[in-house]
Chain A
């Protein structure tokens, strides 16, 4: 197919309106995507970003919307319409089929290459999958292995690759280019993996494609985006050239309030007694862990994906069986823990994946908050005390500044940030002694992040000791008193964050500092 050299593609949406149950989610929104441009889209959770993307994808029908493609009015009513206009989507959620190979996952929503129209041409399938990964600059993933064996970062790269199947990737310029919509693609990527993606995005842009890039990480946008649209409460509140704005401007526009600092300042210096002491602790996934945690201290754990960070928290929580070692809590030697016992000892836990590990999405806020504390929510004899449950969930959801209709609302109806606040509210029912946080701010917006950081400061001031795993190095540096470095399932180093920068911390994670 020979296309003449075209004017750069342009897709515009005007006057997009959408309401759920009478509550407007999108009010007269408009956005224009142009070929050769990376367009950032930011806004707090619930600002309408997801709704806008769903309208673009044709999976949600708008109350009203006008769409033009290269200045011609077009329909965008079904996913097929979107596909034909050249829209390609990379979603934030990792929906992979663990039992299938990487190649099969990449081809999940595309027809497999066949021999004689009947038999799957496995050789060609694997070859095509591998080619697409190579085009993305990903060489370390074997397409024949099961997706279950991938780290979450590699799984995300695999999902990204699947968006490029079926298009003539090498000849995009001739075909006029495509539009890629990426919804927080870097949420589970390490910095190195994210850099691979940024290179891909840059290549796409140079080939005349348009990219709509949704993220909560502002610094990424300053790296890759040329244009930015800011949303708040369902409306587009700003549209700028990236060179004209600063991060502070964007945060102000997004939240509608002044925010001098993303991180709340520390109130007191933590120098309490030793709260938790872990000696020679090993599980099937971590080896010979030693550390202490003081009262009111916030200690971070940095490391690459797969270094055993999350597994350490699971081990401390008793979700992974202890193989050896001892844990002392306030001098008391703890027995072999189970999650049930851990909660009873005042060890509270915010797991990595709030949707699959933290919450029961179909149940109410109240039920989710009291789940670990049901033993204290009774009249005795195992009978539930509903009024006490109501009171507890009211108080704690107020404390975490949860935005919800009431505590009977189902958790699945809440935005990501509010869902995370429900998981936090759970840790406040009973005064926790140790709080284990795994990626506490993953996938939530700046405003909710600030709330969560403030909560952590508040916990710390009350004397709660916090152990936090995070892939956001910036967060570790700004929130923690000390940072433990984890590599290959053990602690290898400890640093004080004062004066530390992200590059140094990252190279410590890789273990090539000073080499």
Chain B
């Protein structure tokens, strides 16, 4: 293969322009910039170990949802129902606590919410053929209604909740002492880290992960290449459902309160985190390492802006602007971040239409 040798040498000389670097690593550079600004503005409190430990706890719940969401988005779908599934899982666990069921029963029942919910989503999308956008939007409403109905619209808190359960969300693993203060690695952080590693191995090191990326890359080619597309797509929804349930339990445990709508903010932020991550991969496909960075960006922004006493509404605006900016910057590099795939499936053929326009232009 002599021709390969000569051309590979030529490729090594490829130069990366500043603009190219900016587009590829813009999100990362932006993140470091934000960190630097907060560090400069809040030198005493921001860049400290306790604060960073705090940040990891703050983002742990979002992290779990986003890592699980990454798995769904690898195949080109997404799951809008994760937030309301998380709320419902918390409500189910809370109701079982009120009926003096054991911790184990409550946790398993809560996980079943995600399992069954994910199965329904998965069947609707892969076997019935509804677009993920419509199916999970519909299920979002169903789960939300269920959570409100079962709880009567009220929060569940107080004595009924076992102490071991609420202690888990507040507690942690003692790392040592710093300036005569004990530093704990929060249990929630540890749990999120475990799920991160599971997803990292699943997507990067297993046959299953490779097949999911194949489905996301070209579903028809994957099918003809022997990938069982339908069961695998279904499986990704089960995965995100269970992830949502775990997040719902984590939220419940941390707040010692289960409210029927408390998980609602998670869905949009999780999807945003995956998008932020997608801006950093070569082909614009989701990657869980990127998602982790996305989650951290959102967490650091919230933490830093709060420390700077910036109004929460303004925080929302700036977070939104940053997400749009990051994705816009990376699409300038002609990355095909097809964030609209499920929506395109909804509006059948609009994808090929756009493509046809592009080619005709």
Contacts and interface: CB of A to CB of B under 8 A. Distances in A.
Contacts of A21: 10-11, 14
B211 interface: yes
A396 B283 CA distance: 25
A95 interface: yes
Contacts of B3: 403
Contact of B349 (A98, A344, A372, A404): A98
Given A22-B13, A97-B356, A99-B349, A357 B217 contact: no
Q: Contact residue range for chain B?
A: 35 or more
B27 to A, nearest CB: 20
Contacts of B14: 21-22
A292 interface: no
Interface string A406-421: 1000100000000000
Contacts, number: 122
Q: Contact residue range for chain A?
A: 35 or more
Contact of A340 (B13, B213, B226, B355): B226
Contacts of A144: none
A358 B336 contact: no
Interface stretch (A5-13, A245-253, A360-368, A463-471): A360-368
Contact of B218 (A22, A23, A361, A383): A361
B214 interface: yes
A339 interface: yes
B224 A358 contact: yes
Interface stretch (A128-136, A374-382, A476-484): A374-382
Interface in B325-352: 336, 348-349, 352
Interface stretch (B200-208, B245-253, B293-301): B200-208
Chain B CB within 10 A, most for which of A91, A97, A349, A367: A97
Nearest to B204: A384
Given A79-B361, A97-B352, A363-B217, A339 B225 contact: yes
Contacts of B211: 374
B77 interface: no
Q: Is the interface of B mostly helix, strand, loop or mixed?
A: helix
A405 B207 contact: no
A60 to B, nearest CB: 14
A319 interface: yes
Contacts of A363: 213-214, 217, 283
Given A360-B217, A384-B205, A374 B223 contact: no
A498 interface: no
B181 interface: no
A187 to B, nearest CB: 16
A152 interface: no
A371 B223 CA distance: 10
16 contacts: A22-B10, A23-B10, A23-B11, A79-B361, A339-B223, A339-B227, A342-B226, A358-B224, A363-B283, A371-B225, A382-B206, A383-B205, A384-B205, A404-B4, A405-B7, A405-B11
Interface of A: 21-23, 79, 91, 93, 95-100, 108-109, 317, 319, 338-340, 342-344, 349, 351, 356-363, 367, 371-372, 374-375, 377-378, 382-384, 398, 403-406, 410, 426
